[in-house]
Amino acid sequence: DIVIIDDLSNSSLIVLDGIKNILKKTIPFFKIDLKNKKDLRDFFKKNIDIKGVIHFAASKSVGESVLKPLEYYENNLTSLINLLQLLPYNGNDFPFIFSSSCTVYGQAESLPIMENAPIKPAQSPYGNTKQIGEEILLDLSKSKENLKVVSLRYFNPIGAHPSLQIGELPIGKPQNLVPFITQTAAGLHNKLSVFGNDYPTKDGTCIRDYIHIVDLAKAHAKGLNYLINKKNKNNFEVFNLGSGTGNSVMEVIKTFEKVSGKPLNYQFSKRRKGDIVSAFASTFKANKILGWKTTLSLEDALSSAWRWQKKNSKI
Ligand code: UD1
């Protein structure tokens, strides 16, 4: 049984209806800002039987974090610290799943990226909050024996739930590739700018590891099961969540055109500051230890993203 806590700062209550329609049951919801220690303490006092946490809540826009670093440090780190201070550990093992990011690797020296690749200095305050978050969890897992942590380093999650009940709802102009593509195809933008076509890649555009959001979600359940049944002493584990395949921006555009049947208006523009050339995951560790791998393709993900966009744009 699960409960959801969210401050609704970057989400909407209608998401709960979508979840209810998928699960055919109502999930208890609490509107709480994790920065508010008093509210969080009251929540845990009333819900002492919470047995584990999946901590997704954080701000995640790279560009915004550069403009508002303090807001990012405050939101992403205070909320994590408050949560860790107030969790009802009760002396039992407490599983904790953390949403991290492949951004912690920066431009890795070798590909695919393994979990033991060096952590590079963060390129943005957002990326730094993920690095610091992992450090906080590592330190705490050493001092608090019953805290069991899995940190999941997401590559590029895209797509929507196939029921189209829930999906990505970017506020304002999207910064990420796939919502910009679907919004452009829906007529909300004139054209997509492809940031750079002079990279040292097969077609000159950057390479990323795009992963269907449903595959990504399932890895969290695997992570929780892993922590619940865990036999070894290692209280802090990181896993890459990617498909293991790198696709260029042009490949994403071409695949989108194929699954949507719509030509996309795009133009090449200059490189975006801070972009890395290429990143894709080694999925070996997640396969082996979590028993997880992706089952859905780039086509599946882009098709669901497009159907979700059409539903929202009433096309
Ligand atoms: C970024 C962050 C990542 C974060 C994710 C979700 C870095 C290195 N990565 O991923 O940590 O979790 O956003 O917020 O900071 N592109 C275009 N035109 C567009 C938009 C994007 O060409 O209009 C290109 C980008 O140059 C990039 C690729 O598409 O090559 C993917 O970009 P994006 O969706 O923004 O994700 P990342 O930058 O990989």
Whole-number pLDDT of residue 231: 80
Residue of 72, 73, 105, 126 with catalytic role? 126
Which of 156, 191, 253 has most ligand 1 atoms within 8 Å of its beta carbon, as the pocket-test mutant?
156
Whole-number pLDDT of residue 139: 97
Separation of 9 CA from ligand 1 center, angstroms? 22
Which residue's CA is the nearest one to ligand 1's atom 28? Answer: 177
Q: Which atom of ligand 1 is least distant from the CA of 272?
A: 26
Placement of tokens 């801070």 in the chain = 274
Long-range contacts of 132-141 (CB under 8 A, 24+ apart): 132/77, 133/58, 133/76, 133/77, 133/80, 133/98, 133/100, 134/98, 134/100, 134/104, 134/238, 136/77, 136/80, 136/81, 136/84, 137/80, 137/84, 137/96, 137/98, 137/236, 138/236, 140/84, 141/235, 141/236
**pTM as predicted:** 0.97
Which residue's CA is the nearest one to ligand 1's atom 12? Answer: 101
Separation of 276 CA from ligand 1 center, angstroms? 9
The CA R_g of the chain, rounded to the nearest whole Å, is 20
The single-letter code of the amino acid at 68 is K
Residue 206 burial by Cβ neighbours in a 10 Å radius (0-12, 13-18, 19+): buried
CA distance 215 to 171: 24
Which residue's CA is the nearest one to ligand 1's atom 22? Answer: 194
Which of 180, 208, 252 has most ligand 1 atoms within 8 Å of its beta carbon, as the pocket-test mutant?
208
Whole-number pLDDT of residue 21: 98
Q: Which atom of ligand 1 is least distant from the CA of 157?
A: 6
Which residue's CA is the nearest one to ligand 1's atom 19? Answer: 177
Which residue's CA is the nearest one to ligand 1's atom 26? Answer: 195
Residue 69 burial by Cβ neighbours in a 10 Å radius (0-12, 13-18, 19+): middle
Separation of 55 CA from ligand 1 center, angstroms? 22
105 noted as active-site residue: no
Tens-level pLDDT at each residue, the chain (315 residues): 999 999 999 999 999 999 999 999 999 999 999 999 999 999 999 998 999 999 999 999 888 999 999 999 999 999 999 999 999 988 889 999 999 999 999 999 999 999 999 999 998 999 999 999 999 999 999 999 899 999 999 999 999 999 999 999 888 899 899 999 999 999 999 999 999 999 999 999 999 999 999 999 999 999 999 999 988 788 999 999 999 999 999 999 999 999 999 999 999 999 998 899 999 999 999 999 999 999 999 999 999 999 999 999 999
Pocket of ligand 1 (CB under 6 A): 60, 62, 101, 103, 124, 127, 156, 175-177, 180, 192-195, 206, 208, 249, 272, 275-276
Which of 180, 269, 272, 280 has most ligand 1 atoms within 8 Å of its beta carbon, as the pocket-test mutant?
272
Q: Which atom of ligand 1 is least distant from the CA of 252?
A: 29
